Amino acid sequence: AQTVTQSQPEMSVQEAETVTLSCTYDTSESDYYLFWYKQPPSRQMILVIRQEAYKQQNATENRFSVNFQKAAKSFSLKISDSQLGDAAMYFCAYRNRDDKIIFGKGTRLHILP
Amino acid sequence: DTAVSQTPKYLVTQMGNDKSIKCEQNLGHDTMYWYKQDSKKFLKIMFSYNNKELIINETVPNRFSPKSPDKAHLNLHINSLELGDSAVYFCASSQARGPEQYFGPGTRLTVT
């Protein structure tokens, strides 16, 4: 069974600085998807970024980018120029071939003004 | 405009009661899901339906029964509610084999 591990329960970053959230996963599949979801205090789950395992190029979405290391089974999220609105829980997630998404336990990100 | 909607957003009820949470999506997606987020924010899939057919059924007590009247709706009925059922329940949808799942706003269920 696949697992997703986020080793940082909480992190803080100064506004306008860069922060990296870590995620590792375990799988025997070769074809899968990885995601980062954001959950602000409103509790809405918002898709931040997606990475297909077959793509070597790291996904980017504006200030958000990933460092995908398939061999190491690592999928970290980098947030550049952090803004107050980035404060939220961030969940790393893995989608397997059975269409099931497995979530990590989340990292709570605080933005310091 | 709402893509995935859930009703109600908040539900407070007593132990032993039966309650339902409704979910509707207007994205034209074929697959819908129910997730449970516990008090520690851990999010876990409960069920998925593809075009009204049950696909994923995780180890969930049979007091929980999903019902899909059509592919745009997936309701969750819970019998004999227990304290441990208190959680936030999320509905989501995706295209068949599409990677992303789009989440509803969640329903906070509190059992007293």
- Rounded-to-integer distance, Cα A52 and Cα A11, Å: 26
What is the pLDDT at residue A90?
98
* Sequence-distant (≥ 6) Cβ neighbours of residue A100 within 8 angstroms: B45, B48, B56
Q: Which residues of A touch B90 (CB under 8 A)?
A: 45
Q: What is the CA angle B54-B56-B59, rounded to 5?
A: 115
Over residues A11-22, the mean pLDDT reads 97
What is the pLDDT at residue B27?
92
User: Does A35 score more than 80 pLDDT?
Assistant: yes
Q: A99 and B105 in contact by Cβ < 8 A?
A: no
Q: Which residues of B touch A52 (CB under 8 A)?
A: 99
User: Does A50 score more than 90 pLDDT?
Assistant: yes
User: Does A96 score more than 90 pLDDT?
Assistant: no
What is the pLDDT at residue B95?
86
Phi and psi torsions of A90, nearest 5°: -115, 130
What is the pLDDT at residue B1?
62
Cis peptide before B8 (omega within 30 of 0): yes
The share of chain B scoring above pLDDT 90, in percent, equals 73
Shortest Cα–Cα distance, A66 to chain B (Å): 17
Q: B92 and A45 in contact by Cβ < 8 A?
A: yes
What does DSSP assign to residue A55?
Answer: -
Q: B100 and A45 in contact by Cβ < 8 A?
A: no
Over residues A22-49, the mean pLDDT reads 94
User: How confident is the prediction for chain A on average, in pLDDT?
Assistant: 95
Over residues B77-83, the mean pLDDT reads 96
Q: B101 and A50 in contact by Cβ < 8 A?
A: no
Instruction: List pLDDT tens digits, range B10-61.
Output: 999 999 999 999 999 999 998 999 999 999 999 999 998 888 788 888 878 8
Q: B100 and A50 in contact by Cβ < 8 A?
A: yes
* Sequence-distant (≥ 6) Cβ neighbours of residue B9 within 8 angstroms: B105, B106, B107, B108
Q: B45 and A95 in contact by Cβ < 8 A?
A: no
What is the pLDDT at residue B11?
97
What is the pLDDT at residue B97?
67
The share of chain B scoring above pLDDT 70, in percent, equals 96
Handedness of CA B96, B101, B102, B108 (dihedral sign): positive
Q: Which residue of A has its CA nearest to B33?
A: A100
What is the pLDDT at residue B5?
95
- Rounded-to-integer distance, Cα B11 and Cα A38, Å: 24
- Rounded-to-integer distance, Cα B74 and Cα B23, Å: 5
Preferred mutation among A55, A101, A105, A109 to probe B, highest tally of B CBs within 10 A: A101
Instruction: List pLDDT tens digits, range A55-78.
Output: 989 999 999 999 999 999 999 999
Preferred mutation among A33, A42, A43, A91 to probe B, highest tally of B CBs within 10 A: A43
Phi and psi torsions of B83, nearest 5°: -55, -40
